[in-house]
Chain A
Amino acid sequence: MEFFHKVPQINFLAARKLAMGMSVVVLIIAVVSLFINRLNLGVDFTGGVTVQMSYPQPANLRQIRNTLAQAGYKDAIVQNFGTPESVLIRLQAKKGESEKNTGSTVAAALQQVAPQAKLEQVNFVGPEVGKDLATKGALAFFLTLTGILLYIWFRFEWRLALGGVAATLHDVVFTVGFFSIFHLEFDLNVLAAVLAVMGYSVNDTVVVFDRIREDFRITRKGTPFEIINLAVNQTLSRTIITSGVTLLVVIALLILGGPVLHGFSVALFVGIIVGTYSSIYIASATALMLGVSKKDLMVVVKEDRKVDDMP
C-alpha cells in the first residue's frame, strides 16, 4: 500500500504568506483570549479545593449549587464528572477557613441533603504552591526553547533555528490558546500534553529541516523556494503517515480514555495537527523569509592549508 507513488508536486510554499497571515491572526486571537478569558486553570495552579462526590442516582446539580451557596460557598463550580452520578465541585475556601477543612465541611453539607452521597476524594492546593508550579513551568518552557534554539543552530543554521523555535512557540501558544478560547480546564495533565506537543513539534520540524539541508546540498539548480518546496513534498508521505498514526492513538484516547484523560487527549489532538502544519508553514517559511540559502548549509571545508601556503 502506498499513498504517494511519485513525489507529489504541491506548491505548498506559494500559500506561505496567506498561511502565515492566518497563523498570525489566530495567534493574536489566542493571546487576546489569554488576556481576556485567561486560562480556566485547574486547582493545581490556582490553589483551591476540589471535592468529588458520588450519588446513588443521577445528581441534581442545581440542588447541590443551592446547598453550597447556603453553606457559604457562592462561587462553587459544580459539574458532572464522567457519569451523571458523579459530581466534581471546585471552590475556594471561605475567608478564614483553612483549606484543609473545606472538603469535609462541603461533604457534610451535601450529605445533610442527600445522606447517601459519598465523598470520593478531596484535593486542595495552597495558593503559593500553584504559583510556584506556574512560574517553574514557565521557566522550564523558555529554557527548553533556548535549548532547542541552540541545538538547531549548532547542527543546522541560525535561520532554521529561529524557524524551529517560532514553530514550537506557535504550537504551544495555539494549543494553550485553544484551551483559553473554548474555556477548557487546564490542569497538570494538560500541561504534560502541551509538553508532549512541544516534543512532537520539534521532532516534526527537525525531520523536515533535515530534508531541506540534504536537498540544498545535493541539488545543483533551483532557488531556495523551490528546494524547500521539494523537501516538503518529499517528506509529505512520511509526515502524513506519522501524524495520522499518532492521531489514531490520540483519537482512541479521546473517545475511550475517560474523563481524566480528556483534556490531555484534546491538547494532544490539537497540538499534533498544528505541529504538523507549523513544520511547513512556520518553521520552513520563516527560514525562507529570513533568506536561508544553499551556501548556509554546505558542509564547511577546513581551509587551514591556505594559511600555510602563504609566503
Chain B
Amino acid sequence: MLNRYPAWKNITVILVTALGILFALPNLYGDDPAVQVSKNNATLTDSTTTQVEQALDTAKLPYKSAAITDNRLVVRFSDTELQLHALDVITKALGNDYSVALNLVPRTPKWMRAIGLKPMAKGLDLQGGVHFQLLIDLDAAIQTKLQRDATDIRGSLRDKLVRYEDISLHGSAITLTLRTPDDVSKARAFITSEYPELTLTSGSEPNTLVAGLSPKSIQQLDQLAVEQNITTLRNRVNQLGVAEPVVQQQGANSIVVELPGVQDTARAKEILGATATLEFRLVDFGANAVLAKQSGHIPLDDQLFNDKAGNPVLLKRDVIVSGDQLVDAVSGYDQQTGTPDVNVTLDSAGASKMGVVTRENLGKPMAVLYIETKTENTTVDGKTVPVHKKVYTVINVATIQGIFSKRFQITGLQQEEAQNLALLLRAGSLAAPMDIVEQRTVGPSLGQENIKQGFDAALLGFILVVAFIAMYYKTFGVIADLAVFMNLVLTVALLSLIQATLTLPGIAGIVLTLGMGVDANVLINEHIREEVRAGNSPQASIHAGYRRAFATIVDAHVTTLTAALMLFLFGAGPVKGFAVTLSLGILTSLFTAIMGTRSLVNWFYGGRNLKKLPV
C-alpha cells in the first residue's frame, strides 16, 4: 500500500527522537556560577567544606550548595557578583595550599550526571576566559639536550679513564678533543653504544670527534619536547585549578591553551610561560670566585654564577640532583626562622645520589641554582624575534650539616617566589622554552551578553520561520517545522554526545544546517504541490513528491557535506568548529527531512482515503 512505513522505520524514528531529546536535555539547564577549591596534591576532606561554609556564613554570603566531587570542592552561587565576593572570602580563609578558582558548573540534575549526560561545552567566545597560543622554541630544546649529553659524556669518560682535553658544545654538535687515538676509539665505542641518536664523525683536527644529531632524531626529539611541554602545561593548568581546560597541540610547534572562566590573566601567563627549574651543586670552596671572575680563569670543572646580590660563586659542573628528579614540593615557612621555604621530596634515584654526596661532603657548602628562561625581543633583519636567555641565580648556599636524601628544605626565597617555585617544581619542567604568541581574553559579561543577544535574535528568526512555514504549507508545514526543530535537537544531542565545544562559528554551522533543513522540506512540499497540480491523487502525490525530492535533497546535502569535510580536514581553529557542526547538522537534517517527516506524513495520511491534501 502507498505511504505506509514498515514498523522498523517507525521504531527507528521514535528511538532516534527519544535518544536525541535525552542527550540534548542537559543543555536546557544552564550553568551556576561557582567557586572551585582544590588542594595541591592532596585529598580534600569534609573539614575543608565546613571551613568554607563557615567562612561564607560569617561573610553573610548565601550559596546554593557546597560539595566535593572528583577531589574538588564546588560551591555554587546564584549570581556572578556573589561568586566574585566569595572568591575573595574563600581564598583568605583557606590560605596558600589551596587553589581557588572561578568556574561555571552545569545545573544538570544528579541522575543525568550519574548516567553521563553532559551539556555541550561552550567556547571562550560564549563563556569568557583566556586563550593562549604558545610557540615552542624547539632549537633550544635540542641545545639543552646536547648540553646535558656533553656533561654526561664528560663524567662517564672520566670514570672510564678515557683522557680528553675538552668536550663542549659548538653550534649544534658536541666536539670532543681527546688525548690519543686509543682514547678516540674508546670514546667512539662508548658513545655509539650509549647514545645511539648521536651520529659520530671525525673532526678536522687530529684526535677529535664530532657528535651531532641526525634529522630523524631531531624530529623525534622535537615531538618528545612538544609532548612533554603539553604534559607539563596540563599539570600547571591543573595546579591553577581551572575546570575543563583545553591544552592542545596545534601544528608542528605550537600549543593552544584555553582556560574558561579565568580572569587573572597575569598569573596564568606567569605560570604557563615560566620555565624555572632547580639544580643542586657543590660549591668549589677551594677556589677564589672573585679572583676567577676578575681574571677569567675558571677552573676546568667549575662554572661561574652569581648569587642574588650579584656576588660571584664558583660551582662544580656536575649536577647532583635537578628539578625533574623531584616528586613533590610544598611551600611553607621554616619552623625556626619563620622565613619562607620549599619542602622538597626527591625520587629514589635522586635521593640515593643526594645521600652519597652529602655523606662524602659533610661540612662542605652546597648551592641551589635557580634557572629561569626569560624571553627578550630583539630585532633581526627588521623583524622582532623572541630570544630565550637562561638566567642562572644561586639562590642559596648552605653548609651540609647532616646526611639527608629524600626530604629537605630550600630556603632563601621570598614568599611569592617560594609559592611559584613549589608549583613549578610540582608540575614538572618544560622540555623547551615557549613564548606566548597569541592571547585573547573575553570577559564573562561580554560572553553572556553575546550569547543572550545572539540567542534572542536567532530565536526570533526561528519563530518567524516556523510561523511562516506553518502558514504556507498548512499541516505539511507543521510537520516540516517539527522536522526542523528535531534537526536542531539532534544536532545539539550529537554535539553534547561527542562533547564538542560550541563557538560562534559553530553556531553559524548550525544556522546553515537549519536553513538546509527548511530547504529540504520546502523541496518536498513543492514537489507534492506540483504533483497535486498535475492532477495526481493525494496518495500518489505524496509518494511521487517524496521520491522526486529525495534525489535532490541527497545531492544537495552530500555536496555540502563534501565541502564541510574538506574544511574540517584542511581548516584550522574556528574553521574546524564550523565544519564539525555543519557536518553533524547535515547528517541530522538528512535524517529528519527524509525519514522523520515521512514517518509523520505516513502516520497521518498513509492508507487513508483523501480527497484533498493540506499542503
Contact = CB atoms under 8 A, between A and B. Distances in A.
Contacts of A252: 457-458, 460-461, 464
Most buried by A among B516, B526, B557: B526
B245 interface: no
Given A188-B574, A252-B458, A210 B556 contact: yes
Contacts, number: 227
Contact of A122 (B441, B529, B575, B582): B441
Contacts of B462: 249
Interface in A141-188: 143-144, 146-148, 150-152, 155, 164, 188
Nearest to B471: A1
B574 A191 contact: yes
Nearest to B472: A1
Given A100-B436, A195-B508, A245 B457 contact: no
A50 to B, nearest CB: 9
Contacts of B454: 253, 257-258, 260-261
Contact of B529 (A2, A99, A189, A198): A2
A198 B560 CA distance: 9
B551 A210 contact: yes
Interface in B461-483: 461-462, 464-465, 468-469, 471-472
B575 A191 contact: yes
Contacts of A120: 443, 445-446
B457 A203 contact: no
Main secondary structure of the interface of B (DSSP, over half): helix
Contacts of B551: 210
Interface in A82-129: 95-100, 120-126, 128-129
B450 A199 contact: no
Contact of B438 (A1, A126, A206): A126
B572 A132 contact: yes
A121 B443 contact: yes
B563 A198 contact: yes
**Secondary structure class of chain A's binding surface, majority of residues:** helix
A200 interface: yes
Nearest to B473: A1
A199 B512 contact: yes
B193 interface: no
B269 interface: yes
Nearest to B577: A192
A32 interface: no
Interface string B564-582: 1111011111110011001
A245 B477 CA distance: 13
A246 B518 contact: yes
Interface string B541-571: 0000000100110011111101111110111
B479 to A, nearest CB: 16
A93 to B, nearest CB: 8
Contacts of A126: 133, 135, 437-438
Contacts of A122: 265, 439, 441
B442 interface: yes
B282 interface: no
Given A96-B379, A192-B505, A202-B560, A257 B574 contact: no
Contacts of B514: 249
B251 interface: yes
Contacts of B570: 136, 139-140, 143-144
Given A192-B508, A200-B515, A206-B552, 12 more contacts: A5-B533, A123-B440, A125-B437, A126-B437, A189-B504, A192-B505, A192-B574, A206-B555, A206-B559, A245-B468, A249-B458, A252-B460
Interface of A: 1-2, 5-6, 52, 95-100, 120-126, 128-129, 132-133, 136-137, 139-140, 143-144, 146-148, 150-152, 155, 164, 188-189, 191-193, 195-196, 198-200, 202-203, 206-207, 209-211, 214, 234-235, 237-238, 241-242, 245-246, 248-253, 255-258, 260-261, 264, 268
18 contacts: A121-B441, A126-B135, A136-B572, A137-B572, A140-B575, A144-B570, A155-B559, A192-B578, A196-B509, A196-B512, A196-B578, A199-B563, A203-B557, A206-B556, A238-B519, A245-B469, A258-B457, A261-B453
**Top 5 closest pairs, chain A to chain B, by CB:** A249-B461, A192-B505, A126-B437, A252-B461, A258-B453
